[in-house]
Every structure is written in C-alpha cells, then in structure tokens.
Structure 1
Amino acid sequence: MSTVARRMWGLFEPVHAIIYAPSARPMLEEAGLRGFWRGYFACRCAPLGAVGPGPVLASFFGFAPSVVNRALPDVWQRITPERTLTVRERAAAEALRTMGAPPDEAGVLLGEAAAAAEHSGRVLSGANAALPVPDEPVARLWHAATVLREHRGDGHFAALVVAGVSGIESLVLRSGLDLSRDILQPARGWTDEQWQAAAAGLVERGLLDEAGRATAAGVELYRDVEDVTDRCATGPWRALGTQATDRLAEMLAPLASACLAVSPVPNLLGLPGWVQNSNTLGVSG
C-alpha cells in the first residue's frame, strides 16, 4: 500500500501545484499578490488565517526565517486570508480547465480519499480539510488534491523530526543525493554560512562525506524517511480501495502530465523532476 501512496502522490501533486504555475498567476496578481513568493505564502497558509512567521516556519519546515519574515505578515496588508482562499480556488480551477480536466468522477473519488484522511498532528492538511468542499467539480478536484498533498507533507515533516533532521539539513542531505544545491538553497533562502554549518553537522553525524555526497548511512536515513512518509500517507488509499484507486489513477494521469508540462523546470519550489523521481526528502511543499 505504501507503493500505492507514492504512485498516487505523483498524480495529485501536479494537480495541486498548478496554483503556483504561470497560468494561475495573473488572477493572483490581480488580487494583489504580485511576485511568486507573495502568492505562494498567501495561498498556502491562508487556511491557517492571518498568521505571522512562527506557525509558517514550523509547518512549512524547510524555509529560512528571513524568507518567511519577508512574506509575513506583509501579505495580509495586501489581501485577507478569506479573499485569498476564494482567489486561489478560482485561479487553480481555471488553470486546470484549460488543460482538459478529467471526468467529474475523478473529483468525486479524490474527494473520497481526502475525506478519509486522518489529520491528527497534521496542521496544514487539517486546516485545508476544514474548508468547505466546493460544489464545482474542477474546484472540488483541486481542493481534494490540496488536502492530500498537505497530508503527505505533514507526515513527511514528522518523519524528518523523528529522524532528527532539521529543515535545512533535509535540503543539504538531498543535495548530496540527486538534487542540486544551486536550486535548493536559493529556493528556500538559506545563506552560504547556514548551509555550510548544516553540512558540517551532517558530516559529523556520518550522513555526508567531506565532498558533500551522501554516505551509505545518509542514503539509508533517506530511504527510511521516505518509507515512513509513504506509510503515513496510505490511509486514504486503503479507505478508497484498490479498484477505485486504480480507476482514479487512470483518470488523473493525463491531467498530471499536462500540469507538469506547464510547470517550469527548475522551478522556484526547488522540485525539478520531483514527480518522476517520486521522492520527497526536504522538498515537500
């Protein structure tokens, strides 16, 4: 079932992430969210209300404080969380419609999976799940994808905490595996000094070598975190059942491909090839 969870993540994550693609940006900018990061932080944390940097640093996990402090609470001087929720739903649904959204059945099934998710200890997924479910089919599809991606992300961060890995350490370790520091570091806003200090700590723990490559112990920790992340994300698919999950995957696949096609690579979320690689360490969200 954990393999199913990872497979389905690769299909609903691109649907959620369409809100950060260029096709959705004009509507966000018209509402006052000019610039990628204003739109990102406002859209992602609006379900939490007009929060300041503290809760976002905790729940987003991997961002440098300087980046979050620039965005919050500034964005709430430009737009309210309530208005953001309305705009993000409209922008995401409109962007998805231009790509040929799947049958309404896909939104129904994805909604059933999202409704089965357990949110104990999962702040972002719980906040999104508490929002009204849209009546319009495409908006309902995007809402369900958003609940599920935050559900997986919350579980991923919990797995990292249990493994004793901080936000910046997860990024540094990932850069020693397969993703470039040149993408990950600026996307999350860490300075060279902060990055080097985190790398030194990972070297001391035997997770990186002196050249910045993951050691055998680092690779094992990475795999353990990914396995825990997958296991924590299995509940919705177990509830939906094998037949319905397979049917949903069939319907989502073309839309996921279309969403990926309009997502810049590398992108500002630091996720080049993220669905194809089907792993999340340090880059969920």
Structure 2
Amino acid sequence: MWTHFEPVHAVTYFHPRARAAYEAVGLRGYWRGYFAGRAAPLGATEAAPVIATFFTFAPPMVTRALPAVWRLATPQEALRARLTGAVQALAELTYELPETHLAEAADLLEKAAGAARTAGRVLGAVNAALPTGEYPLARMWQAATTLREHRGDGHVAALVAADLDPVETLTWRVALDGTAPEYLLGRGWSEEQWHAARERLAQRGWLTPDGAATDHGRVAFQAVEDATDQAAAHPWQALGPAGTDRLRELLEPIARTCHTLIPAGSPIGLPALPG
C-alpha cells in the first residue's frame, strides 16, 4: 500500500504548482518550502525536533532553515500553502477521473489513516491531528500524508533499534540500490562523514571494503524493513482485505500518474508500480 499512497503525498515535493504555492507565501527555494511545509504541523519549532524526526538530514542543514523560515511564513501559512499546492497538483493529475472515484478513494484513505496508532509517532500524530479538508483531493492528500508520516516514524524507530545512525542509513541505501551519492551529499553530510559511515558499516559486516552490500547486511536490513511493515500494518488490518483491495484499485491510476513526477534516484526510494 505504501507504493500506492506515497506518490499521492509526494506531489508536494515535485510538482511545480506545489513549489509555486510555497513561493507565494514567501518560501522561495526548494528547501525552505520543504522544511517549512513538512515541519509546520509541529508549530513554530526550533531545529532540534526536526533533526530528530526527519532523521536523515545533517544537523547544520536543518539549522540553516529552522527557525529562520518562520520569519518568512507562519506555520499556518505554510500549512495552507502545502495543502493548496498539493490539491492543485492532484487536480491537474487526476482531471480525467470521475468525482465519485476520487471521493471513494478519499473515504477509504481517511478510514485507514483514522485507524493509525500514533502513540510514539510524532510526525504521524501531528498530521493526524490536522483538520481534514472539505473536498476529496484535499482529504485524499491529507490522509495519504498521515499514513506516510506514520509509516516513516515506524521506520525511524526500526533504524534506531538496529543501531543505524542517519548517515549510515543513507550510506547503506547508496550501496544497496545504487542510488547516486549526491543523494547523501544533498542531505548535508560531508564526504568525510560518508566515508567514515562506510567504514563503520564495513566493520559491522554490512559492506565489503570497497563499499558493496554483503549478504549479511541485506539480511540484517531486511529485518528493519519487516519491522517497518509490521509497525505500519494496523491501518490496513482495520480497513480489512476487501477495503484494502478496493483502495489499491482506486489508487492505482492516481499513483501511476503521480509517480511520473518522482525523479529517478529520488531520496524517497519508491519503487515503480509493477506492470
């Protein structure tokens, strides 16, 4: 289900209308919009909670953005821009689908998101607490975002339990699927920090000396993925097999269209839908 709801959320990062909505409230530059929009449900927060909850960004990169962005736009303005841009993007991408299709998808996504257990999941909880939109596309995007952050909180917990720090996690990603190293450097970590993380992973037996993923590392990381899936399962158990299958069917054309916006090698790491 992640591969079906994540693209709906991701329009906020990649669609020009989303970028324009942030710029309209004074958040010029990609990273200002990113940090303000994603952190806004937390309120006018300092950098420390964002460093902790976003997990993979180097602290200096976060402190350059926060709390300075709140002098450009309030959290409430950032939230309005975030939702406005996402809805405009989805409207452009789903205009061929009937309103009944979008409304049913929004209903089922909201039902799943409403069943998410948010205790211990900061980003999932603050997004779940936001008011739902009035129209199907707004409701759909907000529910997908709650599910996305709920799953991400669980993934971070699994990474911490596996004793992986942020830069080790990104270094492992580069080794595992060939993601361009710019992904790591683009999150603020230096080449020296990258090399040190690679050495630590080699010492743990996750990487070979030349930086390739080992079988031991793949097995160990699969345990992280399994823990993430298990922690994210309750919304789908609550929705039930029939409801989940129906939502997957409804989201299929939406997710495929939204997925075309996600660049190859994106830090989201989202696999393409099969078929």
TM over 0.5: yes
Give 1:173 deviation, angstroms.
1.1
1:276 aligns with 2:269: no
Structure 2 counterpart of 1:18, one-letter code: V
Give 1:199 deviation, angstroms.
1.0
Structure 2 counterpart of 1:97, one-letter code: A
Greater shift, 133-142 or 143-152, is seen at 133-142
Equivalent runs, 1:1-285 vs 2, <5 Å: 8-23=1-16, 24-100=18-94, 102-267=101-266, 270-271=267-268, 274-276=270-272
Give the Cα–Cα distance (whole angstroms) in 2 for the partners of residues 277 and 52 of structure 1: 37
Give the Cα–Cα distance (whole angstroms) in 1 for the partners of residues 148 and 82 of structure 2: 16
TM-score, scaled to structure 2: 0.94
Greater shift, 114-123 or 196-205, is seen at 196-205
Q: Give SS of 1:76's match.
A: helix
Higher relative contact order by CA 8 Å / sep ≥ 6: 1 or 2?
A: 1
Give the Cα–Cα distance (whole angstroms) in 1 for the partners of residues 153 and 5 of structure 2: 16
TM-score, scaled to structure 1: 0.91
Residue ranges of structure 2 left out of the alignment (5+ in a row):
none
Q: What is the number of residues matched between the two proteins?
A: 268
Q: Give SS of 1:230's match.
A: helix
Residue ranges of structure 1 left out of the alignment (5+ in a row):
1-7, 279-285
Give 1:148 deviation, angstroms.
0.1
Q: Which residue of 2 aligns with 1:281?
A: none
Q: Give SS of 2:146's match.
A: helix
- Residue by residue over 1:187-234, the C-alpha shift from the partner in whole angstroms, topping out at 9 and shown as x without a partner, is 211101111111111111111110101112111111110011001110
What is the percent sequence identity of the aligned residues? 49
Whether the aligned pair in 1 keeps the contact of 2:4 and 2:251 (CA below 8 Å) is yes
Q: Give SS of 1:271's match.
A: coil
Give the Cα–Cα distance (whole angstroms) in 1 for the partners of residues 185 and 15 of structure 2: 20
Give 1:183 deviation, angstroms.
3.2
